[in-house]
Chains A and B, each alone.
Chain A
Amino acid sequence: NAGVTQTPKFQVLKTGQSMTLQCAQDMNHEYMSWYRQDPGMGLRLIHYSVGAGITDQGEVPNGYNVSRSTTEDFPLRLLSAAPSQTSVYFCASKDGGLGQYFGPGTRLTVT
């Protein structure tokens, strides 16, 4: 199993550009989530999904969209990038009531 994969690993955007961060898992987990990690602020939940076709907002959803058309994929879309969205983004998945498996992360810089 590849676990949780994320692409790209690094990305530089200009303010106002849009892009999609990809996340996929091959463990058949129903729950998937997106976090951003900023220095001194830990991990903050952006959006999560408890199964295909179901998504919900986390703590910091503004400026981000998600969709969950399949169990495997959970892309995160930045609508109009802003410098405040410069961060490290982690995707995670879990099975039932157990811990989350995190992907390797995407380092995003918005200039």
Chain B
Amino acid sequence: GQQVMQIPQYQHVQEGEDFTTYCNSSTTLSNIQWYKQRPGGHPVFLIQLVKSGEVKKQKRLTFQFGEAKKNSSLHITATQTTDVGTYFCAGISNQFYFGTGTSLTVIP
């Protein structure tokens, strides 16, 4: 069946370092979305990528969608303590398939 894998599962960084999480699907996706969940909170939508090779930026966050529409990445430049949380990708084919998430800890 459809699988969306995400790596790494955990990432600890010093404040100011960069962070990247990767998302890979076993099948081609129509589009992909990214969500952030703070500890004890609910997922919050960040962005959607639709086109092959698409790159979008939100301040220090850069999102990419692979050429084959089977992988995606989220890169955060110069992390801050406010970036703490779990980042999920969600691949969309006939329904939503969430990745397992990457938990980011930022050490001040």
Contact = CB atoms under 8 A, between A and B. Distances in A.
A binds B: yes
Interface of A: 33, 35, 40-45, 48, 56, 58-59, 90, 92, 97-105
A45 B95 CA distance: 9
For the complex, would chain B's binding face be called helix, strand, loop or mixed by DSSP majority? Answer: strand
Given A48-B95, A103-B42, A104-B42, A42 B48 contact: no
Contacts of A48: 95-96
Interface string B34-70: 0100000111111110000000000000000000000
Interface string B15-35: 000000000000000010101
Contact of B45 (A42, A56, A101): A101
Contacts of B97: 45, 59
B45 to A, nearest CB: 3
B107 to A, nearest CB: 22
A98 B48 contact: yes
A42 B42 contact: no
Nearest to A33: B96
Interface string B77-108: 00000000000101000011111110000000
A99 B45 contact: yes
B88 A42 contact: yes
A94 to B, nearest CB: 8
Given A45-B95, A45-B96, A59-B97, A99 B42 contact: no
